[in-house]
Amino acid sequence: MFQKSDFAVFDDQTLDGRMDKVRKVIDPKFEAFAEAAMPILMADGRPWVAHVAKHKMRKVNSPENTWVAFAPNKRGYKMEAHFELGMWEDHLYLYLAIEENMKKVKSDGPRIAKQLMALADQVAALPDDFVISQDHMQNNKHALAEYQEAVDRYGRVKAAEVLVGRQIPKDSPLLNEDSDKLLDYLLETLKKLLPLYEALAD
C-alpha cells in the first residue's frame, strides 16, 4: 500500500519525470487497491471497472494529482457518480465524486442537486473525519457541515462539484512503511460511502 515516501513523485517538476514515477510507483498501488475493492463493489451486480488516470492530455505541465476512479462503465466514469482514490502532494484521498461532467450528460444539475440534498442526513451521520471537496482538480477540503451549501452551489454553478470522503495527510501513521492498517481504513471508507452511491445510482 501507499507510504509517505511515495509522495516524492511530486518533487519531480518535469512532465516526463513525474509521469514515469507515477507509472512505476503509484499506478501499481492503485491497481493493488482495485483488486481489494472490486469484490466489495461488484457485490451489487454492476460491472465495475477501475480507470487509472493516464494524463494523456498533458503536453507541458506535470499533473498536480493522480488517481484511479471506479465506475460500472468501461467507457468512462466522469459522467456518473463514481469513487476516486487519488494523491495530491500532501495527502491521499478517497471520495464519492459527483463531478461537473455528470451535469453535462444528464443535462439537469438541479435534479441531481435535489438527489444529493436528500442525502444530507446520511452525510451528516458520517464519521467526524469525513470531509467534502467542491472541485476534484483543486487541492481543498471543507467540513461536512458545508455539504448542503456545496450541493446548492452544484445546482446553480456550472463548474461546481460535490465530493465526499476522507483525506489522509502524508504524515499520517497510516502511511508508515510498517503500517498494515491503511488498506482496511480505505476499504472501510468505501463501505461507508456505498449507501450514498446506491441512493444516487437507483
What does the pLDDT read at residue 156?
86
What does the pLDDT read at residue 119?
96
Rg (CA), the chain: 16
Q: Give me the number of domains the chain comprises.
A: 1
Q: Contact, 52 vs 60, CB < 8 A?
A: no
Domain with 44 in it: 4-201
Positions in the chain whose pLDDT score sits under 70: 57, 59, 103-109, 178-179, 202
What is the number of other CB atoms lying within 10 angstroms of the CB of residue 61?
10
Helix, strand or coil, per DSSP, at residue 178: coil
CATH code for the domain in which residue 94 is found: 3.30.930.20
Considering Cα of 15, then 4, then 28, then 35, what sign does the dihedral take?
Answer: negative
What does the pLDDT read at residue 104?
66
What does the pLDDT read at residue 46?
94
Considering the entire predicted model, what is its pTM? 0.93
